[in-house]
């Protein structure tokens, strides 16, 4: 693989909670990469460290040791202001619980990200409406979250994640709150984000449907990760 094509590179990532005999090694020298236009799915049992890993990659949690490079920048070497800038400009987050603001419309939820980045007025409105339309929400822009289905809420969340045109999308259990049909639609949209928009997409999930859109499937257990893409039964049916 071309090193210049890597959106994300994780080297020897380790996270230890506690000390001495009570220490828990949530991550043990984990390494992975995600390239432009690639969907990587990380699976594994509950408590395996998947969310911990995603939180470290997203700059929300500090590792015990190891490095995270996003677009070639060693995030761990940055001060808090620099890490915040990387989160704002380079990373888009998609969460299981949507995390939409109920008082705002779908469009305003997307615009909020743009407002924080300094883009306001007609430009922010055009960008948010464009993204929502691309994700199948034309005509739903002025609906509030309580007026939207679970699948529609997650589409808004994806639009919000894309608002600042990040290089990397991190999706934490994005289909867990959705039924089978809506779940497949959402993972299909995440694949479209990778293939059509050239983003690196890292999905952490228990959901077997996520396998169907993956370029690579990784298994995280007991703090260690391995590639199971070519193992029998690893992939679902497209």
What average pLDDT does the structure give for the chain? 91
pLDDT for 237 equals 44
Distance CA 136, CA 195 (A): 17
Tell me what the mean pLDDT of segment 138-154 comes to: 96
Map tokens 């071309």 to a residue: 2
SS3 of 71-123: the string is CCEEHHHCCHHHHHHHHHHHEEEEECCCCCCCCCCHHHHHHHHHHHCCCCHHH
**Token digits of residue 125:** 């409105």
Label each residue of 142-184 as H, E or C. Answer: CCCHHHCCHHHHHHHHHHHHHCCCCCEEEEECCCCCCCHHHHH
Q: Tell me the per-residue pLDDT of 34-45, one tens digit each, with 9 for 90 and over.
A: 999 999 999 999
Question: Residue 66's Cα: distance from chain center in Å?
Answer: 20
27-31, 33-37, 76-80, 166-170: lowest mean pLDDT where? Answer: 76-80
Position of tokens 């867990």? 176
Q: What pLDDT, in 10s, does the model give residues 88-119?
A: 899 999 988 899 999 999 999 999 999 888 88
Angstrom distances, CA of residue 191 to CA of 42, 57, 123:
15, 20, 27
pLDDT at 4 over 80: no
What the block records as the tokens of 120 is 């306001």
Structure tokens at 189: 């949209």
* Domain residue spans of the chain: 3-99+165-227
CATH of 3-99+165-227, one of 3.90.550.10, 3.40.50.300, 3.40.190.10, 1.10.10.10: 3.40.50.300
Distance CA 111, CA 104 (A): 10
pLDDT at 235: 64
pLDDT for position 206: 87
pLDDT at 12: 96
């Amino acid at each position: 693989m071309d090193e210049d094509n890597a959106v994300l590179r994780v080297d020897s990532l380790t996270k230890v909670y506690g000390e001495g005999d009570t220490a828990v090694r949530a991550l043990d020298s984990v390494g992975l990469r995600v390239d432009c236009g690639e969907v990587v799915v990380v699976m594994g049992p509950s408590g395996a460290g998947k969310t911990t890993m995603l939180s470290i990659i997203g700059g929300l949690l500090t590792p015990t040791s190891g490095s995270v490079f996003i677009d070639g920048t060693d995030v761990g070497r940055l001060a808090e202001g620099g890490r915040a800038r990387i989160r704002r400009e380079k990373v888009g987050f998609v969460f299981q619980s949507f995390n939409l603001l109920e008082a705002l419309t779908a469009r305003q939820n997307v615009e909020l990200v743009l407002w924080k980045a300094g883009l306001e007025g007609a430009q922010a409105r055009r960008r948010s409406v464009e993204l929502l339309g691309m994700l199948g929400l034309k005509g739903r822009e002025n609906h509030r979250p309580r007026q939207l289905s679970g699948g529609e809420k997650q589409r808004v969340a994806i639009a919000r994640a894309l608002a600042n045109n990040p290089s990397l999308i991190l999706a934490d259990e994005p289909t867990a709150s959705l039924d089978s049909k809506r779940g497949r639609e959402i993972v299909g949209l995440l694949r479209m984000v990778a293939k059509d928009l050239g983003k690196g997409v890292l999905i952490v999930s228990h959901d077997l449907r996520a396998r169907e859109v993956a370029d690579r499937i990784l298994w995280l257990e007991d703090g260690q990760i391995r590639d199971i893409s070519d193992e029998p039964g690893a992939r679902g049916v497209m």
